[in-house]
Structure 1
Amino acid sequence: MRKYIASAAAAALLAGLGATAYATTGTASDSRPLAGMRILISNDDSMQAAKASNSDGLGLYELRRAMCAAGADVVVMAPWQVQSGKGTAVTNGGVVTAQRRTALPAGYENDCAGAPARGAVYGVCLSDGPCTKDSASATPADTVKLALRGGLKAKAGWTEAPDLVLTGINSGPNISASVNDSGTVGAAVAAVDQEVPALAFSSSGDESNTFFPRANYRAHAEFGARLVAGLKQRGLLTSKFALKVDYPDVSTGVPAKAPVWTRVGDGAVVYHAFEQRGNSDSFDIALGLCPVDGSGEGECAEGRKDADSTWLLDKGHVTIAPITWDRTYGTPVDARRELNRIEHFVKHEAPRP
C-alpha cells in the first residue's frame, strides 16, 4: 500500500454553489488540497441518478464533483442497480461487467474534465456482456473488490491501489442497527479489508424520509472534501478502520452542527416487519420507523449517550464513527494511537459545516 505524504494545507474555494473554505492549517495557497490523490468512489444506490426522489445515486455525483474540485483524480465503480441493504454481501460466481457511462446526469458532465481519469463512471452488473436496463447488479462490496483486484488497472490504468475509497453519499443515514445492513458501509469495509483507507458518507432525507434533497448531498460532499483534506494533511488516512460520516437534513435552512465523535447506537431507527398474507406461506416485507428521539421500547430503545442516531437525528450534528472489519468481540484495537488522534481531530480540528 502507498505511503501518504501530506501536502501543505490549503484555504480554498470549492467550485459550484457557495464558498467552501478548507479547514486546514499552514500558509500554502493551494486551492486543490487533494491534488495527487487517486480516489475510488462507490455506493449502494447505483450510478443511475434517474429517480425524482434522488434516491438512486445522485449523492455519488455530488461526492465526485466535490472531490474533483478539490484536485483528486476520481474513478467511480458502483452497482448497476440500487443495492440498498446489501451489507457486505458478495457474489461468489458468474461474470461481472464494468460498463462505462458516457452520458452523465445533467450538470455533472464536466466536473472532472481536467483530471487524468476524467472522473470515469462505471456501473457494474452481473452479465456476460453489456449491461442492460434489466441486468442484475453487482453488490456494493463486489464493486470495491473488483476495482481493487484488477478493475482499476484494466479500466483506468491504475497499477497501484487508490489512496482512498469513498462510498456514498447514501440516500438516508446509516446509523444504529442499520449499519449492519448498509451496503454503503459494507463497501467501505471491503476497502479496509484490502488495506485501503475508506470513508462511508450518508445523508438524511427531508422530513418525509422519501425525498433526498440535492442541498443535503451538496453540503455533505463539500464538508467531506474538507474533512478528507484535513485527514490527509495530518497523515490520518488509515486502513485499520473505516470512518462513517452521517449528515443531518439541512434542506430547511437550518445548518448542520459541528461534527461529533460517536459510537454506533445499540438501538434501531428502522426495523424489518413481516406480515403474513392470510394463511399462506408468503409474508409482506415492510420497514418500521422508531421514534427519532430514542424514546422507543424494545429494539427501538437507545441506550448509548454517544449514539450516532441521537446526535444526528435529535441534535442535528454531523456524526463520525469508526467502523472495523474485525467482528471478534473484545478484540483489542490494534490502532489505538490512530484512533485517538482521529478522535482528537474530529473533536478539536475538523472542519465545521
Structure 2
Amino acid sequence: MRRTLALTTAAAVLAGLGATAYATTPAADRTKPASRPLAGLRILLSNDDSMRAAKASNSDGLGLYELRRAMCAAGADVVVMAPWQVQSGKGTAVTNGGVLTAQRRTALPAGYENDCAGAPSGGAVFGVCLGEGGCAPDSPSATPADTVKLALRGGLTAKVGWRGAPDLVLTGINSGPNIAASVNDSGTVGAAVAAIDQDVPAIAFSSSGDESQLYFPRENYRAHAEFGARFVAGLKERGLLTSAFALKVDYPDVSAGQRAEAPVWTRVGDGAVVYHAYEQRGSGDTFDITLGLCEGDESEGECVENRADADSTWLLGEGHVTVAPITWDRTYGTPVDARRELKAVQRYVEREAPRP
C-alpha cells in the first residue's frame, strides 16, 4: 500500500520536526572513556541537519553533537563544519558561485559545552551560510557538500590551522535512516561522497526515529554514536580507513529498550521507503510537493524491494545495524578498484566489528 502525506507531516519522517535542550550528563560520564583508541585522529564532522540542535523533535543537529561527544571521548580531535540551516534532501548539490561564511558557534547546546575541551582544536563548531558579513538566523545555508569542500579546500587551515587533510570525515548522525532509494537524495551521504572525492576516508551515520518516526530520541543518537566510536576505532586499528569508498552506517530504533542487532553488510535497496510525489492543485499550474510512505505488503511499483541484502530490509525489518559501501563513481559496471579493501572491510563488519 502506498500513501501520500502533506509535506509538513511527511517531511518529519525524513528530517523530524526539530530539540529540546538535552539534559546535562555528568561531566565524568562524558569525559572518562575506558581508553582513547582514536587519539591523534583528526576528524571533520558535518551533516545535513544543521548545527542548531534547537527543535523539540531533535531533528536539526542533535545527532551531530552526540557524534562529536563520542569521538572526542575516544581521543579524536574533532572540528565541525556543518550547514547553517537544515539541508535534508540536498544530495550532492553544491553552490556554484557567491560567498560562503563559516561562522563559529560559541554557545553550544546545553550539556555539550565541554565534550571536546581537551582536544587540540577544542571541538570547534562552525555553521556555514551563504553571503558575507556574518550568518543571521534567516541566512540561506551552504549545502552539506559545500561544507565538506570548503573545509577540505582551505577552510580547516584558515579557521583552526590544520595543515593537510583530516584523517577522516564523518557525516551525521542524521535524523532518520538513509536507506534504499532515499540514499540518492541524502545530504548526509552526499557530504561523505564529497569527502572521498577528495581522497579522504568518510563514513555517513543515520539513526531511526521512534515508532512514530516524528521524534528522534537522544537515546538512539547516543547508542549510535558510542557504537560509531568503537566501529571507527576497529577500522583504524586494522588500517581499514579508506577513501576508495565511503561507508553508510544506519542504526535502528532502540528508544523503547529494544536491542540493536549485530552489524550486517548490505547493499542499498532498489525499492523505496519514502518517495516524492507531486499533487496538482485543481487544474492550474501549481503542484504541492508531498512525500509518500511505502507501507504494508507492496507487490508492485517503486515500493517493491528485490534485494535480499537490502539495507531497508535488515534495518527496518530485522532491527540490525546496517553497513553499505558507497562510491562516487556512477558509471554502470565499473570494476571494483579496491576489491581487497572492500573484502577486508566486509569481513570486519561481518566477523569483527563491535556489537551494539
Deviation at 1:294, TM superposition (A): 6.7
Residue number in structure 2 paired with 1:245: 249
Letter in 2 for 1:227: F
1:16 aligns with 2:16: no
2:93 corresponds, among 89, 98, 104, to 89
2:324 aligned counterpart, secondary structure = strand
1:128 corresponds, among 122, 132, 153, to 132
Cα deviation, 1:8-29, whole Å, max 9, x if unaligned, reads xxxxxx96379987xxxxxxxx
Residue number in structure 2 paired with 1:339: 342
Residue number in structure 2 paired with 1:26: none
Give the gaps of 5 or more residues in structure 1.
1-13, 22-30
Cα deviation, 1:66-97, whole Å, max 9, x if unaligned, reads 00000000000000000000000000000000
Letter in 2 for 1:104: L
1:205 aligns with 2:209: yes
Cα deviation, 1:128-175, whole Å, max 9, x if unaligned, reads 110001100000000000000000000010011000000000000000
Compared with structure 1, are the counterparts of its residues 296 and 219 closer, same or farther at alpha carbon in structure 2 (3 Å cutoff)? Answer: farther
Structure 1 CA distance for aligned equivalents of residues 271 and 62 of structure 2: 29
Structure 1 CA distance for aligned equivalents of residues 80 and 73 of structure 2: 15
Identity of aligned residues (%): 81
Letter in 1 for 2:353: A
1:313 aligned counterpart, secondary structure = helix
1:246 aligned counterpart, secondary structure = strand
1:290 corresponds, among 274, 291, 294, to 294
Whether the aligned pair in 1 keeps the contact of 2:248 and 2:324 (CA below 8 Å) is yes
Return structure 1 stretches of 4+ with deviation > 3 angstroms: 14-21, 293-296
Letter in 1 for 2:314: W
Q: Relative contact order (C-alpha < 8 Å, sep 6+): which is higher?
A: 2
Residue number in structure 2 paired with 1:60: 64
1:267 aligns with 2:267: no
2:230 aligned counterpart, secondary structure = helix
Residue number in structure 2 paired with 1:102: 106
Residue number in structure 2 paired with 1:168: 172
> Alignment RMSD, CA only?
1.5
Structure 2 CA distance for aligned equivalents of residues 109 and 259 of structure 1: 31
2:223 aligned counterpart, secondary structure = helix
Deviation at 1:337, TM superposition (A): 0.2
1:107 aligned counterpart, secondary structure = coil
Residue number in structure 1 paired with 2:282: 278
2:320 corresponds, among 311, 317, 320, to 317
1:121-200 superposed matches below 5 A: 121-200=125-204
Task: Give the alignment's TM-score, normalised by structure 1.
Answer: 0.91
1:263 aligned counterpart, secondary structure = coil
Cα deviation, 1:255-311, whole Å, max 9, x if unaligned, reads 1000000000000000011111111211111111112x7745210000000000000
Whether the aligned pair in 1 keeps the contact of 2:36 and 2:74 (CA below 8 Å) is yes
Number of corresponding residues: 330
Deviation at 1:182, TM superposition (A): 0.1
Task: Give the alignment's TM-score, normalised by structure 2.
Answer: 0.91
Structure 2 CA distance for aligned equivalents of residues 319 and 19 of structure 1: 28
Letter in 2 for 1:213: P
Give the gaps of 5 or more residues in structure 2.
1-26
1:16 aligned counterpart, secondary structure = helix
Cα deviation, 1:206-261, whole Å, max 9, x if unaligned, reads 11111000000000000000000000000000000000000000001001000000
Structure 2 CA distance for aligned equivalents of residues 246 and 18 of structure 1: 25
